[in-house]
A and B are shown apart, each in its own frame.
Chain A
Amino acid sequence: MSENAIVVCTWSTGRDGLPEGVEEILHIGRSMASALDTDLAWLVLGPLPESASELAGKYGVGQLQHAADPNLDPAGSDACVEAIAAYWETHSPATLIVHQTNEARVVAPRVAGRLGKAVVMNGISVETVASNYQITASAYGGDTRAIYEVSSGSILSFIANAVVPEPAEGAPVAPEALSLDLSGVDERIQVVEQASFDGPRLDDAEIIVSGGRGLGGADNYKLIEQLAAALGGLPGASRPIVDEGWVDSSHQVGLTGRITRPNLYIAVGISGASQHMAGCSAAGTIVAINRDADAAIFQHARYGIQGDALEILPELIRAANAR
């Protein structure tokens, strides 16, 4: 049994059959394991993704540990917490790392609470200092970075969009079955209506055109939708126009909305507050359209257009359609 390993933990798979952000956290796990000269394990709770063995090989995973259990398919939060707690008892990992999904935002601190372990969310990068870890995390919506120090045996959650995974050659790793006793689990939270959105998601979009309060009114949001359509992208939004009800919250980009990583992000009538940038700063190229030449968004943009969105958008839609 491998004690003191760096353990990447995933449950539930995304649309491409892999857990969201898994390559990014495997990448982080690999560098931690090599800095500490210890093993990297990947703990999969619930159904094993088809390409797990292959992926494990590409990131230097030593053990691909797989816990199958009816309670983990689909994995409720009580089952996940119970499973990780049981795993901890027998494996005592050096650290457990997760990708920061909404589910991870529940499971990671609950495990920490149950086991009395340190937990740090919003991780961007991590360094090992003797047997401790220093995690650089985003704070104040992105206005600052906080460096937290925790000891070995902690739970760390990373925001994947800052990481560029680098797979390498490696032989596939055979999964090893783990049996964790989940017989006592009785999920306390019952889903009575499932979320049902299955259209294209901002998270996966290559091109996003987002509108903000500078659009001036709900009716003008259609210009954002038209430009997005003309460019083959998706429309996004800042939080205030979601709060105002101009558009529904699945469009919100930012710290508390979608964290995106498109090739092209066009921000229209958006001031560029840190909490908005937290959801788009990893974009390949940012274009900003804003009336105010001093708007913060221009500090992040590659190309800027200073002017009235309502005059520029129709022209951009025309030019995009004609391209």
Chain B
Amino acid sequence: MKITVCVKEVMDPDAVNNYAVAGRLEIGPDGKTLTQTAIPRLMNGYDEQAIEAALQLRDAGADFTLTVVSAGPEPEKMLKHAAALGAQEIVSIPIDPGQIDYHGVATLLSAQVEKAGGADIILCGRQASDDDQGVVPALVAERLGMPVVTLARALELSGDKLRVTRVTAEGDEVVEVACPAVVTISNEIGDPRYPSASAKVKARRVKPTVTTPADLGLGDAELQPRVMLTKQFVPEVQGNCEFIQGEPSEVADQLIERLKADSIL
């Protein structure tokens, strides 16, 4: 069996948040790119959890080769982390993110899967923490004619049937789907594990397979963006907080009084 995990490199969302709160998040001269070079780049959290989901399947006895694929400007370092975690193959597709949209990314990822002879399960994160779009997995699924199951918190494999526990607004739902299928992973799957020190050392020597769009037979025509980012800005929060001060019992009484006076209670 073959499992492919798609991972994206993003700016550390906590750092982005800290800059935003401090009022120091800046958009570059092009009017659409975040400029903070000090913000570390790392693997999208849900994608790390998608690798974790594969490792959990392996722990449960499933036998498969694990390939981790990323399309981005320089995903090599991140991919070595994936190798240290147990990916047998790591694949880098070099792209300029400013020149491509989600369809383009999905076109590349699905072409790579096809080139590798297909996959039984494709695992993705539920969404990338930079754009929050969460569309690439469904676009990949449509291209490959696979079903897509979203928001997984647990996976169970028996034969070629995958049983997925999904997080929904109404509580957990359990579904079954036959492989091949695309599954997106939510944070409820649990904290991703750390690679061992020796695995990290070994992974340093692993070279990613680099596949260019041309290697996949894809050029500008196929990768023409349909969605163009034209602008990005930091929304303002007005901020008119009135602090209520005093001893705990006083502030409690005052707050309830205020809320009553405002007809909120």
Q: Which residues of A contact B (CB under 8 A)?
A: 78, 101-102, 105-106, 108-110, 112-114, 116-122, 134, 138-151, 154, 188-198, 201, 203, 231, 239, 242-243, 249-250, 255-256, 258, 263-264, 272-275, 284-285, 287-288, 293, 296, 298-307, 311-312, 314-316, 318-320, 323
Contact = CB atoms under 8 A, between A and B. Distances in A.
B175 A191 contact: yes
B239 A299 contact: yes
Given A119-B102, A305-B251, A305-B255, A110 B173 contact: no
Contact of A148 (B11, B139, B227): B227
Interface stretch (B15-23, B56-64, B72-80): B15-23
A42 B237 CA distance: 35
Interface string B115-142: 0000000000011011111110111111
14 contacts: A106-B150, A114-B142, A118-B226, A121-B133, A139-B131, A140-B17, A140-B130, A141-B132, A143-B20, A192-B174, A193-B174, A201-B169, A293-B243, A319-B249
A273 B226 contact: no
Nearest to A122: B132
Contacts of B174: 191-193
B259 interface: yes
B78 to A, nearest CB: 19
Nearest to A188: B147
Contact of B17 (A102, A273, A287): A273
A320 B251 CA distance: 12
Nearest to A321: B256
Nearest to B23: A299
B62 to A, nearest CB: 19
Nearest to B14: A273
Interface of B: 11, 13-14, 16-17, 20-21, 25, 27, 32, 34, 101-103, 106, 126-127, 129-135, 137-143, 147-151, 153, 163, 167-178, 181, 186-188, 191, 226-235, 237, 239-245, 248-249, 251-253, 255-256, 258-260, 262, 264-265
Nearest to A310: B248
Given A121-B133, A274-B17, A145 B233 contact: yes
Contacts of B142: 109-110, 113-114
Contacts of B102: 109, 119
A300 B21 CA distance: 11
Contacts of A102: 150-151, 168-169
Contacts of B188: 242-243, 249
Nearest to B181: A188
Nearest to A115: B142
Contacts, number: 247
B178 to A, nearest CB: 7
A197 B148 contact: no
A201 B240 CA distance: 29
A140 B256 contact: no
A120 B229 CA distance: 11
B229 to A, nearest CB: 6
Contact of B231 (A121, A146, A154, A304): A146
A101 to B, nearest CB: 8
A149 B228 contact: yes
B251 to A, nearest CB: 5
Contacts of B17: 140-141, 143, 273-275, 296
A316 B13 CA distance: 34
A110 B25 contact: no
B226 A319 contact: no
3 A-B pairs with the lowest CB-CB distances in the bound complex, closest first: A113-B142, A315-B252, A109-B138
A201 B170 CA distance: 9
A244 B22 CA distance: 27
A92 B251 CA distance: 59
Contact of A147 (B134, B232, B248): B232
A285 B259 contact: yes
Contacts of B248: 307, 311-312, 314-315
A122 B17 CA distance: 18
A120 B227 contact: yes
Contacts of A231: 265
Given A117-B226, A143-B234, A264-B265, A300 B239 contact: yes
A14 B187 CA distance: 26
A144 B168 CA distance: 26
B262 to A, nearest CB: 7
A150 B132 contact: no
